[in-house]
């Protein structure tokens, strides 16, 4: 399976070469989409991904750096279908949102678009709760409600496919909220650094050899403004054998 990093930046002002956070998982030609920061569908399309293969979209929380590209992603599905660049006819896309208010509001917004956003495929809205939220036989997804900023919440996701496990932090108040999942081990840990120090995350992972690979995503200013120092710090703690990496837009990870 392949993981496509479509955006690796946290909610900063526009940054050269980096868009807000989004990534997609390709398993057997189906795409599973996690967060939808600005330009995610644009980037994916230009990377050669078949957007008609999108089957599920998981949104960790509704901050703009995680959802600004969501409407555009749905719009792209309709546009490519209506232009006969691909076909969505009869397909279903599950959309997982963190609270029940968001989907009706999003749909209302979409209906103001051309032709009232009439589509010939089904958008199946689902509300995320902690626990197993999705299993299509190929991909199994669990969600974990965690703290974030002030009283706001976000979800982390643990994804299992083809015998591999990926943990995606979403935005998280403390890495300790992921202790149980990381203690269980994973093949890939996609961890945000918008609210966390590189050294702290690396030390946490160093204590858990069962976390095989750490890729930073949702970069904060430590990485954006002091990249060389950040990678040196990461390597000094977790080594230079590829166990830790600072993710970049359009990066493709094979698991």
Nearest to 61 by CA among 213, 161, 173, 166: 173
Pairing relation of β-strands 54-58 and 30-34?
Answer: parallel
Angstrom distances, CA of residue 73 to CA of 56, 108, 194, 251 = 12, 16, 24, 19
Minimum CB distance to Zn ion, residue 154 (Å): 6
Angstrom distances, CA of residue 180 to CA of 94, 158, 183, 186 = 27, 11, 5, 11
Q: Which stretch binds Zn ion (CB under 5 A): 7-15, 24-32, 47-55, 95-103?
A: 7-15
Tell me: does residue 65 bind Zn ion (CB under 5 A): yes
Q: Give the E-state strand segments of the chain in sequence order.
A: 2-7, 22-27, 30-34, 54-58, 92-97, 122-127, 131-135, 139-147, 153-161, 164-168, 188-192, 214-217, 244-246, 252-254
Minimum CB distance to Zn ion, residue 253 (Å): 20
Q: Which residue number places its CB atom closest to Zn ion? A: 63
- Contact pick of 26, 38, 171, 249 for Zn ion (by CB under 5 A): 171
Minimum CB distance to Zn ion, residue 162 (Å): 28
| Three-class SS state of 199 | helix
Q: Which stretch binds Zn ion (CB under 5 A): 23-31, 62-70, 106-114, 135-143?
A: 62-70
Q: Which stretch binds Zn ion (CB under 5 A): 28-36, 55-63, 94-102, 240-248?
A: 55-63
| Of residues 72 and 195, the one with the C-beta less far from Zn ion | 195
Q: Which stretch binds Zn ion (CB under 5 A): 8-16, 24-32, 35-43, 75-83?
A: 8-16
Tell me the β-bridge partners of 34. Answer: 23, 58
Minimum CB distance to Zn ion, residue 156 (Å): 12
Residues 193-252 that bind Zn ion (CB under 5 A): none
| Three-class SS state of 20 | strand
Contact letters for Zn ion, residues 19-48 (x by CB under 5 A): ------------------------------
Q: Find the DSSP H helices in the chain.
A: 40-47, 64-67, 70-82, 102-111, 179-184, 198-206, 221-225, 227-238
Tell me: does residue 18 bind Zn ion (CB under 5 A): no
| Of residues 65 and 249, the one with the C-beta less far from Zn ion | 65
- Contact pick of 63, 78, 158, 219 for Zn ion (by CB under 5 A): 63
Tell me the β-bridge partners of 157. Answer: 143, 168
* Positions in the binding site for Zn ion (CB under 5 A): 11, 63, 65, 171
């Amino acid at each position: 399976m392949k993981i496509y990093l479509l955006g690796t930046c946290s909610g900063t002002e526009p940054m050269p070469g980096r868009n807000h956070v989004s990534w997609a998982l390709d398993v057997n030609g189906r795409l599973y989409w996690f967060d939808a920061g600005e330009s995610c569908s644009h980037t994916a399309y230009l990377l050669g991904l078949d957007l008609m293969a999108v089957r599920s979209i998981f949104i960790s929380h509704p901050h703009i750096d995680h959802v600004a590209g969501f409407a555009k992603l749905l719009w792209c599905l309709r546009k490519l279908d209506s232009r006969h660049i691909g076909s969505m006819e009869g397909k279903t896309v599950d959309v997982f949102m963190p609270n029940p208010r968001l989907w009706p509001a999003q749909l209302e917004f979409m209906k103001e678009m051309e032709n009232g956003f009439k589509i010939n495929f089904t958008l199946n809205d689902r509300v995320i709760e902690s626990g197993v939220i999705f299993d299509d036989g190929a991909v199994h997804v669990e969600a974990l409600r965690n703290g974030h900023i002030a009283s706001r919440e976000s979800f982390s996701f643990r994804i299992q496919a083809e015998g591999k496990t990926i943990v995606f932090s979403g935005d998280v108040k403390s890495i300790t909220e992921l202790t149980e999942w990381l203690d269980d081990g994973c093949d890939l840990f996609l961890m945000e650094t918008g609210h966390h120090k590189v050294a702290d995350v690396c030390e946490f992972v160093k204590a858990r050899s069962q976390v095989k690979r750490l890729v930073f995503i949702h970069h904060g200013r430590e990485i954006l403004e002091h990249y060389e120092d950040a990678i040196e710090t990461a390597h000094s703690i977790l080594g230079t054998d590829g166990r830790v990496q600072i993710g970049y837009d359009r990066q493709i990870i094979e698991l």
